[in-house]
């Protein structure tokens, strides 16, 4: 249990209202030293919990501000400790004056994420729920919000707890056999254990496989914009982002490094990656950029191959051997840019050429003019359809956290060893060891076996005040 009392400004600067959170064993008494209720004969530290009290903050006899103060008593608070929340005017001067008074009277400044860390340490939430708090604050779309809410409400934790409970029951029976090894008794039905292992393997596999969707929802669907130099890649990026993010020039090889940014379309976050134009060059720096182009192409889920419609056949023939093999398993959209320059007969010819040469699955084509923003809205709709992201509800359990994914992957490897061990009828002590490894990795997600270094790494990425 933490013995010190912490305080922090919990609201962003610039608003009309500011909030300061105080938590710890002396939270109520320290607040009472600087706050006097307005119309009550009762002192603040005598107020009932879950009440909101109007009054003034004083520095000696000087009034700093008229405020509202909420009071929460342990263990029924966010952190599980005595807490107060001071709501004052949003002036940075007032907020700093109140903070200085709190620190002068015994508080210390809270570290990033320390309130949520105390909530975890005091048993108010497990580690996966605590991590979801940061995801909820950072959520930028309806889908990321729903996933964070689902995890924070404990849906993910409950599924893991159920798995862990079943495994503990079974491993206890296997280990009980070891105590009676000389009597050759079997408490754990191996057939039932194999059935359980199969059920657990199915659940863990589903969670592991959900990470691709979860990662795309949380960090954005990666979309690589590729093509020859001067095909219009940077112009299209600026149109999709609705800002001048990339330098646009008629000079070949302007983009020499990867440019990334995200934008929300149709409720889905896309992470667009503008890459260096692909061409033969002796420029060492440009060649490094082209190498990164192919690296980003390998990482993308959707590929926008930008082709200059005025020289389409030549560009496709030159680059198809380099690009198409790398697009297997991805959604490829061939974008014929500068379409306002060519005639309808040329477009018809390109459509025929496309149908004859692009027979692989998940391939689309579209004619646009990035410069004139012609048909770019249709391209956006095509991107939303290509993302193939499911409709997410707050009841869906989808893995979005890399730490959780790594732990589940290790748990999946361990449960595979349990299945193999049961097939070859290995001894109970080896079987128990593999089962306990599955339990360990599942428990690691909820923070039941996590060390201080891991906790510090997780909570240092939180904002101050949460």
The reported pLDDT for the residue numbered 259 is 73
Query: Are 136 and 278 in a shared domain?
Result: no
Among 352, 367, 387, where does a domain finish? 387
Contact, 43 vs 25, CB < 8 A? Answer: no
Residue 247: inside a domain, yes or no? Answer: yes
The reported pLDDT for the residue numbered 251 is 39
Residue 422: inside a domain, yes or no? Answer: yes
pLDDT in tens, 144-202: 777 777 777 777 778 888 888 888 877 777 766 565 555 554 555 677 788 888 888 99
Instruction: Indicate the SS3 state at residue 68.
Output: strand
| Residue carrying structure tokens 């290509």 | 386
Indicate whether 372 pLDDT > 50. Answer: yes
Residue 325: inside a domain, yes or no? Answer: yes
Query: Are 60 and 179 in a shared domain?
Result: no
Query: Are 189 and 156 in a shared domain?
Result: yes
Residue 352: inside a domain, yes or no? Answer: yes
Query: Are 103 and 154 in a shared domain?
Result: no
Residues 109, 102: Cα–Cα separation, whole Å: 9
* 292-310 CB burial, b ≥16 within 10 A, e <16: bbbebbeebbbbbbbbbbe
Could you tell me the CATH number of the domain that includes residue 57?
3.30.1360.120
Cα-Cα end-to-end distance for the chain: 18
pLDDT in tens, 409-447: 999 999 999 888 888 877 777 888 888 888 888 888 877
Among 344, 365, 387, where does a domain finish? 387
The binding site for (6S)-5-formyl-5,6,7,8-tetrahydrofolate consists of: 21, 85, 124, 466
The reported pLDDT for the residue numbered 294 is 66
The binding site for Mg(2+) consists of: 234, 255
Residue 457: inside a domain, yes or no? Answer: no
- Nearest CA to 128 out of 148, 108, 107, 110 is that of 148
Query: Are 292 and 228 in a shared domain?
Result: yes
The binding site for K(+) consists of: 230, 249, 251, 254
Residues 356, 378: Cα–Cα separation, whole Å: 23
- Nearest CA to 274 out of 314, 208, 309, 223 is that of 223
Number of domains in the chain: 3
Query: Are 26 and 85 in a shared domain?
Result: yes
Supply the DSSP symbol for 183: G
Indicate whether 462 pLDDT > 80. Answer: no
pLDDT in tens, 236-245: 888 888 765 5
Could you tell me the CATH number of the domain that includes residue 292?
3.40.50.300
Residue 464: inside a domain, yes or no? Answer: no
The binding site for GTP consists of: 230-235, 249-255, 274-277
Q: For the whole model, what pTM was predicted?
A: 0.66
Region 302-315 average pLDDT:
82
Strand arrangement of the beta sheet that strand 83-89 belongs to: 35-37, 51-59, 62-72, 83-89, 17-23, 6-9, 108-109
Exposed / middle / buried, residue 235 (Cβ in 10 Å: 0-12, 13-18, 19+): buried
The reported pLDDT for the residue numbered 8 is 94
Residue 237: inside a domain, yes or no? Answer: yes
Among 387, 417, 439, where does a domain finish? 387
The binding site consists of: 21, 85, 124, 230-235, 249-255, 274-277, 466
Query: Are 380 and 242 in a shared domain?
Result: yes
Query: Are 363 and 443 in a shared domain?
Result: no
The reported pLDDT for the residue numbered 392 is 63
Indicate whether 83 pLDDT > 60. Answer: yes
The reported pLDDT for the residue numbered 465 is 72
Region 384-388 average pLDDT:
83
Indicate whether 73 pLDDT > 70. Answer: yes
What percentage of the chain reaches a pLDDT higher than 90?
A: 21
Query: Are 238 and 206 in a shared domain?
Result: no
Query: Are 428 and 306 in a shared domain?
Result: no
Query: Are 206 and 237 in a shared domain?
Result: no
Query: Are 362 and 324 in a shared domain?
Result: yes
For 288, the domain range is: 219-387
Region 275-304 average pLDDT:
64
Could you tell me the CATH number of the domain that includes residue 182?
1.20.120.430
pLDDT in tens, 324-356: 777 777 888 888 888 888 888 888 888 887 777
The reported pLDDT for the residue numbered 26 is 95
**314 alpha carbon, distance to own chain's centre:** 42
Residue 116: inside a domain, yes or no? Answer: no
């Amino acid at each position: 249990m933490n013995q010190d009392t912490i305080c922090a400004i919990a609201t962003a600067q610039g608003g009309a209202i500011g909030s300061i959170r105080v938590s710890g064993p002396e939270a109520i008494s320290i607040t009472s030293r600087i706050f006097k209720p307005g119309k009550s004969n009762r002192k603040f530290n005598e107020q009932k919990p879950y009440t909101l009290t109007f009054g003034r903050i004083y520095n000696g006899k000087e009034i700093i501000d008229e405020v509202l103060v909420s009071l929460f008593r342990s263990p029924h608070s966010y952190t599980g400790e005595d807490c107060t929340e001071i709501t004052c005017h949003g002036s940075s001067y007032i907020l700093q004056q109140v903070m200085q008074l709190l620190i002068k009277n015994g508080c210390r400044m809270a570290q990033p994420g320390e309130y949520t860390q105390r909530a975890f340490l005091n048993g108010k939430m497990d580690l996966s729920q605590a991590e979801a708090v940061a995801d909820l604050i950072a959520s930028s779309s309806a889908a990321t919000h729903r996933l964070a809410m689902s995890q924070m409400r404990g849906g993910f934790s409950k599924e893991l707890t159920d798995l862990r409970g079943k495994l503990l029951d079974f491993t206890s029976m296997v280990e009980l056999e070891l105590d009676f090894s000389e009597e050759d008794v079997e408490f754990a039905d191996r057939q039932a254990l194999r059935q359980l292992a199969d059920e657990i393997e199915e659940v863990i596999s589903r969670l592991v496989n959900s990470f691709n969707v979860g990662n795309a929802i949380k960090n954005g669907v990666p979309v690589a914009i590729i093509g020859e130099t001067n095909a219009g890649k940077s112009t299209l990026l600026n149109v999709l982002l609705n800002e001048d993010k990339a330098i646009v020039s008629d000079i070949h090889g302007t983009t020499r490094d990867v440019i990334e940014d995200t934008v929300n379309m149709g409720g889905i976050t896309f992470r667009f990656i503008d890459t260096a134009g692909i061409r033969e060059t002796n420029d060492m720096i440009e060649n490094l950029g082209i190498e990164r182009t192919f690296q980003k192409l390998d990482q993308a889920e959707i590929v926008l191959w930008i082709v200059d419609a005025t020289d389409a056949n030549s560009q496709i023939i030159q680059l198809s051997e380099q690009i198409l093999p790398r697009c297997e398993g991805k959604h490829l959209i061939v974008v014929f840019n500068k379409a306002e320059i060519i005639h309808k007969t040329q477009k018809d010819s390109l459509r025929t050429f496309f149908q004859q040469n692009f027979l692989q699955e998940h391939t689309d084509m579209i004619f646009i003019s990035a410069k004139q923003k012609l048909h770019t809205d249709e391209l956006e709709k095509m991107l939303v359809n290509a993302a193939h992201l499911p409709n997410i509800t707050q009841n869906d359990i989808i893995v979005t956290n890399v730490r959780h994914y790594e732990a589940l992957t290790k748990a999946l490897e361990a449960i595979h060893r349990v299945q193999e061990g049961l097939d070859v009828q290995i001894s109970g002590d080896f079987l128990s060891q593999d089962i306990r490894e599955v339990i360990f990795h599942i428990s690691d997600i909820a923070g039941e076996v996590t060390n201080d270094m891991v906790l510090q790494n997780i909570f240092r990425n939180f904002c101050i005040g949460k």
